[in-house]
Chains A and B, each alone.
Chain A
């Protein structure tokens, strides 16, 4: 039975790390490779990158704050949805996530299925 999972990428925004064109390109190459691998194995369902602008609404007063990634160290930069047998299988795919060396994190969550 295949289940669906979400891999959430958390870490600093590329813009705040001051990466050179060359470094960005190397990193991009790694993303391509990872993406290809998942696609070929039939894991990949979808995914998006998120822009670094944040609007946050908090508390019973509905306080609204506009933030940019520079103000928040840990920002969700994007996600993939994948289908896999279990957590272990996703953890295995997540080995190839390219940004660990930048201190980034992958969070894996299973997508809940409700009975009809």
Chain B
């Protein structure tokens, strides 16, 4: 069997199985469920050494089902669980829970559980990556740039809250759904961004994060209750960003900014998919942050060359975005665009509204922009002062090298 064919099979299947089994056993038995899924995979990895089954996914599903029956027998609590499935108007047999549509439903329930308001915002991502997407603590730690211990603590804390608050494994309805969907979209957005904006060496996990966020978002679009213009906009945004994933680094794994990316590497099918998602997203007039961010990303993709970028339009979208969600970052970007357009007076207005402390660990972005601003004004002395401040406050080595190169250029002028 081709290795590629089974690529990610375990990871995807793990999330599916954990979700389905949780639906059967309830959230309070989450740990048993996770162990059972793990057992299934170990069994697969041993027995497939000799011969890979023709349909590995079906094999895993069957093995997981068998494992449930095992656990039922072991726990001797069949009576406590089974009535839920065999009685009442909503009778649903265990076999039916493994139908594709039911698996997706269970996964949606799991995402909505992971984004429950009772869970700490930071714990949500770790918990979702673990239970919905089958990432290990180590992989989550590496993806979120935290220690494995921290991730483990977050997972334990999330499980405790679920137990203590007796959370149900359901997609909320009515008004509660709207609120919770916002949190789900935010988590997916963050997962995607971790993948897209991180400068880590382990490229693979980063791409996996983007892929996972997109897979989950696509699932939201399949369900009539979660298929909102906001979800469409988020999916469009992900498509637009993902189309550029390949071109973000060069052969030496150095980051390339938009100006220096090889635009021929952009993935057009994804851009087209993003466009058609965008049409769906604007069918009504409720625009979210994701709408504006997608509009900005799409504007960049439309430009044949960096110089052909329509900065006026991008600036307009940023203004919309900032009025919906005022953020120092947006204002700074607006200043950068004005410097691009050589509208230094406007850039100055934006910059004067900001100070370095607005940016915490990312002060260097503020100083770097100020330096660009003074360089554009031909005030070399001030430009150098600010590039020095930027170099002092940057942590990331790649970014530092980038800034030092800029400084050398300033000295050459």
Interfacial residues, chain A to chain B (CB-CB below 8 A) = 13-15, 19-25, 27-29, 31-33, 35, 47-49, 77-78
Residues on B with C-beta less than 8 A from A33 are 3
Could you list 19 further interchain pairs (A-B, Cβ under 8 angstroms) beyond the known A20-B139, A24-B44, A77-B46?
A13-B42, A14-B45, A14-B46, A15-B38, A20-B136, A21-B14, A21-B38, A24-B42, A25-B6, A25-B11, A28-B49, A29-B6, A31-B48, A32-B49, A33-B3, A49-B46, A49-B49, A49-B50, A78-B49
Cβ of B47 within 8 Å of any chain A Cβ, yes or no, is: yes
Residues on A with C-beta less than 8 A from B42 are 13-15, 19, 24
A60 to B44 alpha-carbon distance, docked (Å): 38
A-B contact count (CB 8 A): 72
Cβ-defined partner of A47 (8 Å) among B14, B38, B50, B134: B50
Given A25-B11, A28-B6, A32-B1, the answer on whether A20 and B135 have CB atoms closer than 8 Å is: yes
Cβ-defined partner of A78 (8 Å) among B37, B46, B134: B46
Return 6 A-B CB contacts under 8 Å, by A number. A15-B38, A19-B42, A20-B139, A21-B11, A21-B134, A25-B10
Residues on A with C-beta less than 8 A from B13 are 21
Closest 7 CB pairs of A and B: A20-B136, A21-B10, A49-B46, A25-B10, A21-B14, A28-B45, A31-B49
Is B10 touching A32 in the complex (CB atoms < 8 A)?
no
A80 to B185 alpha-carbon distance, docked (Å): 49
Residues on B with C-beta less than 8 A from A25 are 6-11, 41, 45
Given A21-B11, A49-B46, the answer on whether A32 and B3 have CB atoms closer than 8 Å is: yes
CB-nearest residue of chain B to A36: B1
Residues on A with C-beta less than 8 A from B46 are 14, 49, 77-78
CB-nearest residue of chain A to B15: A21
Cβ-defined partner of B44 (8 Å) among A19, A20, A28: A28
A27 to B6 alpha-carbon distance, docked (Å): 12
CB A62 to nearest CB in B, in angstroms, measures 29
Cβ of B52 within 8 Å of any chain A Cβ, yes or no, is: yes
Is A32 touching B52 in the complex (CB atoms < 8 A)?
yes
Q: Which B1-56 residues have C-beta < 8 A from chain A?
A: 1, 3, 6-11, 13-14, 37-39, 41-42, 44-50, 52
> Interface residue count for B (Cβ, 8 Å)?
28
Is B10 touching A24 in the complex (CB atoms < 8 A)?
yes
Cβ of B341 within 8 Å of any chain A Cβ, yes or no, is: no
Is A22 touching B49 in the complex (CB atoms < 8 A)?
no
A20 to B30 alpha-carbon distance, docked (Å): 16
CB A28 to nearest CB in B, in angstroms, measures 5
Residues on A with C-beta less than 8 A from B9 are 25
Residues on A with C-beta less than 8 A from B6 are 25, 28-29
Is B48 touching A28 in the complex (CB atoms < 8 A)?
yes
Cβ of B138 within 8 Å of any chain A Cβ, yes or no, is: yes
CB A69 to nearest CB in B, in angstroms, measures 11
Residues on A with C-beta less than 8 A from B39 are 15
A32 to B42 alpha-carbon distance, docked (Å): 15
CB B11 to nearest CB in A, in angstroms, measures 5
CB-nearest residue of chain B to A28: B45
A35 to B47 alpha-carbon distance, docked (Å): 12
Given A29-B6, A32-B3, A33-B3, the answer on whether A24 and B49 have CB atoms closer than 8 Å is: no
CB B126 to nearest CB in A, in angstroms, measures 14
A15 to B9 alpha-carbon distance, docked (Å): 19
CB A19 to nearest CB in B, in angstroms, measures 8
Residues on A with C-beta less than 8 A from B49 are 28, 31-32, 35, 47, 49, 78
Is A24 touching B139 in the complex (CB atoms < 8 A)?
no
CB B124 to nearest CB in A, in angstroms, measures 20
Residues on A with C-beta less than 8 A from B134 are 20-22
Cβ-defined partner of B45 (8 Å) among A27, A35, A48: A27
